[in-house]
Amino acid sequence: MDPAGGCPHADNARLLARGAVTPVVLPGEVAGMAVLGHDALREFLAHPEVAKGAAHFTALREGRITAGWPLLTFATVRGMTTADGEDHRRLRSLVSRAFTARRVEELRPRVEELTAVLLDALHRAARDGGEVADLRGHFALPLPMGVICELLGVDAEYRDRLHHLSNQVVATDIGPEQAVAANRELVAVLATVAARRAAEPGDDLTSALIAARDEEGDRLGQEELIGTLVLMIIAGHETTLNLITNAVRALCGHRDQLDLVTKGDASWADVVEETLRWDAPVSYFPFRYPVRDMTVDGTVIPQGTPVLAGYSAAGRDPAAHGPDADRFDVTRPGRPGAVRHLSLGYGAHYCLGAPLARLEATIALERLFTRFPDLDLAGPEAELSRHSSFVGNSVRALPVRPGTSRG
């Protein structure tokens, strides 16, 4: 895997041509595997003998993974994404009530309000910047970051720093000293947030988690509390940030598809789902481990191997999506009875925040193109700088020309 990341789709196609499951070399010359094919990934994600807990990671258990390994947080953070069985159910249940369809729908007015404020800010930034503004920095980032921080009770003063640290944690080209420092600071900042909420509890998820820790200590330990906050901050904004950014890029590059939506022949929800398939916000997500040697699509994955879930590859798998899988099509029908995409996971670890991500992205895109119907990229797509990570899949900045504002 290229630690510098970049656009994954050409590499994905090359790997898929070799098979739905392939050996890969992770940073530090660590041997791993990647599951790339849609059907193979669906089978693997739901397999009862595939674990998330780091105790199943053979190289880590044997002391062959260093403290500065850039992917270490994905393996060792204490929370839902590294828990199995009863531990996973316990941790997920503590958070799940904040993300039910009903609770998420109650957030709609606040998401709409914040979206309107940020569109005004984008308009001002373009006016002050020669009619060009970074849509990612002024709109796609502060929307999900603002929502998740309000949900968690994180004060505004911490938000920029938390985004910076999150970026470092998900980077795959970071050096060992930087990786250790970023993880330590992220934990320290969130411990400060938790301490403030413990002293001044509010109607937020962090306060509720602290209450569960203090009143029912067997339900949540301190390390699990901080680990849960780490996961919520990173997953709660990085994925939606990439989703909104990638959807705007897709629509600007496919004006015919944007016309279908504005004419009512497709919905903004269709745009979100096709973007999730065509340009998944997470390319390769670490890690899962077979608890025994297992065969997936004819390839043996040895017990204890760290396995990447290849969401961006599965989204363009011709075996699942047809010979035109590389085409962005908001009217694309799915196979009868098939899952349209796996970009938000599958099985017991399906993304808990999926309803919120969909709500935020749908509102953001509809309001953005209603306010700025002529919005377009300020330069060629090929010149956009990509993330330095094979985990996150997007660009570092998205300069746009919003055009005339309607409103």
List the structure tokens of 304.
């204890």
Strands, E, within 15-170: which ranges?
Answer: 21-26, 30-35, 50-51, 133-134
- Tallying the residues shown for the chain, one arrives at 407
Residues 6+ apart with CB under 8 A from 8: 283, 284, 312, 313, 390, 393
> How far is residue 91's CA from residue 224's CA, in Å, rounded to a whole number?
8
CA nearest 123: which of 185, 115, 36?
Answer: 115
List the structure tokens of 381.
């797509």
Q: Comparing 124-128, 175-179, 244-248, 369-373, which segment has the lowest mean pLDDT?
A: 175-179
Above 90 in pLDDT, residue 4?
no
- Angle, helices 222-253 vs 268-278, to 10°: value is 100
CB 97 within 8 A of CB 352: no
Q: Comparing 4-18, 228-242, 261-275, 324-338, which segment has the lowest mean pLDDT?
A: 324-338
> pLDDT tens digits for 199-227?
999 999 999 888 887 776 667 888 889 99
pLDDT for the residue 199: 94
> pLDDT tens digits for 21-52?
999 999 999 999 999 999 999 999 999 999 99
In 153-267, alpha helices (H)? 159-170, 176-199, 205-215, 222-253, 255-262
> How far is residue 342's CA from residue 355's CA, in Å, rounded to a whole number?
14
pLDDT for the residue 173: 85
DSSP state at residue 1: -
List the structure tokens of 318.
């011709």
pLDDT for the residue 3: 86
State the DSSP H helix or E strand holding residue 144, giving kind and residue range, or none if neither.
helix 142-152
> pLDDT tens digits for 129-167?
899 999 999 999 999 999 999 999 999 999 999 999 998
CB 300 within 8 A of CB 25: no
User: What is the CA angle 129-132-137, rounded to 5?
Assistant: 90
Could you tell me the sign of the dihedral formed by the alpha carbons of 292, 296, 300, 301, in that order? negative
List the structure tokens of 122.
């984008």
CA nearest 207: which of 95, 102, 99, 103?
Answer: 95
Residues 6+ apart with CB under 8 A from 191: 226
Other CB atoms closer than 10 Å to residue 61's CB: what's the count? 12
pLDDT for the residue 216: 65
CA nearest 293: which of 45, 8, 129, 49?
Answer: 49
pLDDT for the residue 48: 95
- The residue assigned the tokens 């509010």 is 202
List the structure tokens of 393.
């899949």
List the structure tokens of 272.
């979100």
